[in-house]
Amino acid sequence: MDTTLQDPIVGQVLDGRYRVDARIAVGGMATVYRAVDTRLDRVLALKVMHPALAADVSFVERFIREAKSVARLAHPNVVAVFDQGAEGAYVYLAMEYVAGCTLRDVVRQRGALRPRAALDILEPVLAALGAAHRAGFVHRDMKPENVLIGDDGRVKVADFGLVRGVGDVTNTTGTVLGTVSYLAPEQIEHGTSDTRVDVYACGVVLHEMLTGAKPHSGDTPAQVLYRHLNEDVPAPSAAVPGLAPELDRLVAAATARDPEERPLDAVALLALTRAARAALTDAQLDAVPPQARPEAEDGAGADGRTAVIPRIRPVEVPDDEPVRHTSRLEMAPSDVAAPPGRTRGGAGGLRGMPSRGGMPSRGVLAAIVAVLLVLGVGTGVWYINSGQFTRVPSLLGQTEKEARKRLGDEGIDAKVTRDFSDSFDRGTVMGTDPEPRSRVRGSGPVTLVISRGPKIVQVPELAGLSLAEARSALKKAGLASGLVKREFDEDVARGAVISSTPEAGADIRPDSGVALLVSKGAPIDMPDVTGESVEAATTELEDAGLTVKIAPDRVDSEQDAGTVARQSAAEGTRLAQGDTVTLTVSKGPRMVSVPDVTGQKTDDARKALEDAGFQVKVERNFPFLGDTVGEQSVAGGEQAPEGSTITIKTKGL
């Protein structure tokens, strides 16, 4: 049966512009429809938030944040967002329509993919995520369902509904947002998300493309979460023998349980992916995997929807308290026991009642009264009270004038308060009290919370503060510490802030990042200490403000044994106070056997000695009389230090 026929939105025109033609997909937060923009006459996708979630301000803000975040990306591998709006209970995004299928469809139908195909899909996904990461966003819900493959072969990343800033923490009221099969360990354990959670999810997606199955399975979401926390993602070649080791290493790097061991972001993973591809032969790229039926959704639901997973915590129940309570409203007629000696009735009611209009027995009457007390009376009270209440309509995103009129039409009085909001335009409703769909008695009132627009924060004076003090001051002001750069400064102490961008006093939005320029102190010009004793060199460098480290191994060198043979920073290098310089100690020059060059022409003798590693000096006893070597300062066959000078003398005719 075509369920779209029962969808109340299909056939409607939202905002007088978007005609909804058909339902495409249903997700955890929203339903996606194919629609037509009647103004521009183009097909697009309309993502409409579920009405039940539209009553939740946090979900609406996340929904609107998706529109703003994706609109800023403008990347060819990201599904574009054209518009955002609300009409009544419907909050929607107007998005690019991609005719094709999802990566989930491909894996379901074909199982494991050839490595070339898997990498052809992964690379544009990483390009899209890389653009998001460099713009300061984290997707947080990467999975095959969110990878769209167009009929023209283009790959696009969709559903930035869980997007957050790079440094945000996602630990909210004890829940973790995401899909269990693709959650990184730190998302599960600590609720934190940065660019590396997308890297982890892409590693899982790559494993799934190469093997046709998720790396961790389980009967329940909790089992899958436990395995992500405690087990490494297995090598794809364990499931598909013959896969190249470069692919195993790529998956292992992306899915390291310790986020510090993963590539920093999707850009770094893309570089590793391209390097892995370059190392593979055509035969390895086009290896045909054995086809196996993809596994079930591992406790995540057959449609792979995003789930809200409760954080696992022990629950203490008093010994005298039953674990399960059944309220009256939960109780069904079958929960009411029949009087002793009688059985429950079928379609005709309770057995034991007279069949021809006679009065029922007292036992039966007692059972009927019990049922009425449990069901009928409660229903009656609700029925009486329901006429005295009105439900609060969904007003989020509407102007104050529109919201007042809507409440007036419902016979509800309005009160107004105002607050700052980064998600709702100035003058629009950002919340109500009571919340939408709540019941109010009589004419209310309902308080409308009207957005004052984004709150402006002034950048504090940070120059001269230590980095830790500057970060604390930014946090106190409602701002975030952004990129930290360091440079030499003779007037500002090492570790202190030189300046900020934006500069002190600038007006910016809350939670914006402020870049800091931190002093490395006055520069220290590295001296040349080669040939000095280790003690003398160490004293000289430490007096200059540097830290000295001695390399564990000594090396052959023209320098005397026990003196400095090498220094890690060349003479003249500009260093900061506290920087470490590594000194390598000489074992002395290597002893080399001297070749016998007597009787040879001077040019041939010079070449033979230089090839052996010596310097050569020529002395001519009888100039112009001969060019043959008669003597050499170190006899042939004897040992001399490598690099030392051998003198050769010519003899007469």
Residue ranges of alpha helices (H) inside 334-459 are: 362-371, 377-386, 400-409
**388 lies in some domain:** no
Task: Among 284, 309, 334, identify where a domain stops.
Answer: 309
Confidence of residue 235 (pLDDT cuts 50, 70, 90): very high
Tokens in use for 50?
A: 């579920």
Contact partners, residue 20, CB within 8 Å, separation at least 6:
9, 10, 11, 12, 13, 14, 33, 34, 35, 46
Task: Give the relative orientation of helices 195-211 and 245-254 as an angle to the nearest 10 degrees.
Answer: 150
pLDDT at 326: 29
**385 lies in some domain:** no
DSSP string, 67-125: HHHHHHH--TTB--EEEEEEETTEEEEEE----EEEHHHHHHHH-SPPHHHHHHHHHHH
Tokens in use for 494?
A: 């090492």
Q: Which of 84-98, 182-196, 391-405, 458-472 ranks highest by mean pLDDT?
A: 458-472
- Between 28 and 223, where is the model more confident? 223
Residue 80 scores a pLDDT above 50: yes
pLDDT at 410: 85
Do 412 and 446 lie in one domain? The reply is yes
Contact partners, residue 590, CB within 8 Å, separation at least 6:
556, 613, 641, 642
**314 lies in some domain:** no
Give the helix/strand (H/E) hosting 631.
strand 628-632
Task: Among 95, 129, 161, identify where a domain stops.
Answer: 95
Do 557 and 413 lie in one domain? The reply is no
**320 lies in some domain:** no
Count of Cβ atoms closer than 10 Å to residue 332 Cβ? 10
pLDDT at 275: 94
- Between 383 and 275, where is the model more confident? 275
- Between 587 and 73, where is the model more confident? 587
CA 574 to chain CA centroid, nearest Å: 37
Residue 83 scores a pLDDT above 50: yes
Least confident of 61-65, 123-127, 487-491: 61-65
Q: Choosing from 141, 198, 248, 265, which is the catalytic residue?
A: 141
413 among known catalytic residues: no
**332 lies in some domain:** no
Do 497 and 570 lie in one domain? The reply is no
Which of 78, 108, 123 has the alpha carbon at shortest distance from 285?
123
What separation in angstroms does the CA of 477 have from each of 265, 470, 497? 29, 11, 17
pLDDT at 454: 76
Question: Average pLDDT in the 12-17 region?
Answer: 91
Confidence of residue 582 (pLDDT cuts 50, 70, 90): very high
Give the helix/strand (H/E) hosting 21.
strand 18-26
Count of Cβ atoms closer than 10 Å to residue 279 Cβ? 14
Residue 202 scores a pLDDT above 70: yes
Place of tokens 């955002």: 84
CATH of the domain at 175: 1.10.510.10
Q: What pairs with residue 441 in β-bridges? A: 389
Which of 99, 96, 85 has the alpha carbon at shortest distance from 17?
85
Residue 384 scores a pLDDT above 60: no
Least confident of 93-97, 391-395, 522-526: 391-395
- Between 545 and 60, where is the model more confident? 545
Total count of residues recorded for the chain: 653
Do 9 and 109 lie in one domain? The reply is no
Q: What pairs with residue 14 in β-bridges? A: 18
8 Å CB contact between 84 and 64: yes
Q: How far apart are CA 393 and CA 585, in angstroms?
A: 81
Tokens in use for 120?
A: 């052809």
- Between 310 and 566, where is the model more confident? 566
Tokens in use for 103?
A: 């990566």
Give the helix/strand (H/E) hosting 477.
none
Do 266 and 125 lie in one domain? The reply is yes
End-to-end CA distance of the chain: 115
What separation in angstroms does the CA of 612 have from each of 558, 590, 616? 15, 12, 11
Which of 569, 623, 614 has the alpha carbon at shortest distance from 589?
614
Confidence of residue 63 (pLDDT cuts 50, 70, 90): confident
Place of tokens 């009264």: 369
Task: Among 309, 339, 361, identify where a domain stops.
Answer: 309
**362 lies in some domain:** no
Q: What pairs with residue 156 in β-bridges? A: 148
pLDDT at 623: 60
Q: What pairs with residue 646 in β-bridges? A: 616
Contact partners, residue 351, CB within 8 Å, separation at least 6:
338, 342, 343, 344, 345
Do 89 and 213 lie in one domain? The reply is no
Least confident of 321-330, 340-349, 365-374: 321-330
Confidence of residue 625 (pLDDT cuts 50, 70, 90): low
Backbone angles phi, psi at 300, to 5 degrees: -95, 0
Question: Average pLDDT in the 56-68 region?
Answer: 74
Tokens in use for 88?
A: 């009544």
Average pLDDT, the chain: 80
Q: How far apart are CA 266 and CA 131, in angstroms?
A: 8
Q: How far apart are CA 597 and CA 276, in angstroms?
A: 54
Backbone angles phi, psi at 274, to 5 degrees: -70, -35
**357 lies in some domain:** no
Share of the chain above pLDDT 90, in %: 46
CATH of the domain at 47: 3.30.200.20
CATH of the domain at 427: 3.30.10.20
**474 lies in some domain:** yes
Contact partners, residue 252, CB within 8 Å, separation at least 6:
232, 233, 235
DSSP string, 33-59: EEEEETTTTEEEEEEEE-HHHHT-HHH
Instruction: Please confirm whether the linkage preceding 221 is cis (ω < 30° from 0).
Output: no
8 Å CB contact between 480 and 450: no
Q: How far apart are CA 397 and CA 414, in angstroms?
A: 16
Do 222 and 176 lie in one domain? The reply is yes
Look up residue 294 and give its DSSP letter: P
Q: What is the SS3 assignment for 519?
A: strand
- Between 378 and 494, where is the model more confident? 494
Which of 494, 504, 499, 473 has the alpha carbon at shortest distance from 484?
499
Residue 624 scores a pLDDT above 70: no
Question: Average pLDDT in the 348-366 region?
Answer: 38
Residue 218, CA atoms < 13 Å, CB-side half-sphere: 15
Sheet of 414-419: strand order equals: 414-419, 446-451, 429-433
Q: How far apart are CA 537 and CA 534, in angstroms?
A: 5
The string of pLDDT tens digits covering residues 291-332 is: 544 444 444 443 444 433 333 333 333 333 332 332 222 223
Tokens in use for 361?
A: 């027995």
Do 528 and 630 lie in one domain? The reply is no
Domain holding 444, by residue range, is: 401-451
Residue 165 scores a pLDDT above 60: no
Residue 118 scores a pLDDT above 70: yes
Residue 355 scores a pLDDT above 90: no
DSSP string, 148-170: EEETTS-EEE---TT-EETT-B-
8 Å CB contact between 129 and 270: no
Tokens in use for 447?
A: 């308080």
Number of domains in the chain: 6
Count of helices and strands (H, E) across the chain: 17, 33
Do 116 and 212 lie in one domain? The reply is yes
Q: How far apart are CA 474 and CA 457, in angstroms?
A: 10
Place of tokens 């402006």: 456
Confidence of residue 593 (pLDDT cuts 50, 70, 90): very high
8 Å CB contact between 251 and 272: no
Least confident of 67-76, 156-165, 496-505: 156-165
Do 641 and 570 lie in one domain? The reply is no
Do 245 and 269 lie in one domain? The reply is yes
pLDDT at 305: 43
Residue 88 Rama label (left phi>0; alpha psi -120 to 50; beta): left
Do 440 and 461 lie in one domain? The reply is no
